[in-house]
Structure 1
Amino acid sequence: MNGDKVTLYENGDIVESFSLSVDSPNSQSCTFDFSDKSDDTYSYCVGLSNSTGFTRSDAIEVTVI
């Protein structure tokens, strides 16, 4: 079953969330745009939810230099 909402977390805080088109069993995709980030290391993960629950990805670290 597809997710109907995706949420982006940066360092544990929600920075963006939006609805997805549900078209099970086809795959889904989305993009997040970043700009003007200060030099630092950031931790990102995404959450996906639907009527049956919520799941969150493992975090990745991104270093901006």
Structure 2
Amino acid sequence: MAGPTRKPFPERRIYRTPKATVDAFWYVVRTYNDEYVNRWLDEHPSDKAFLLDLYRQRQKQRRAP
């Protein structure tokens, strides 16, 4: 008598920040209001690290000769 068969665990999906969220982030950044940007990022905790990395990359590109 065979034991119960187990269903395999579903594959974990990798979270990716939606393009709409990235676009909204750049809109918020263009307000030049640090308090608003910080509050907006706090409201998007899953995306915060990714968005800050994008921002830092863009800053490096602008400073490159």
Task: Tell me which interval the TM-score lies in, with the shorter structure as reference length.
Answer: under 0.3
Q: TM-score, normalised by structure 2?
A: 0.23
With CA pairs under 8 Å and 6+ residues apart, which has the higher RCO, 1 or 2? 1
Larger-Rg structure: 2
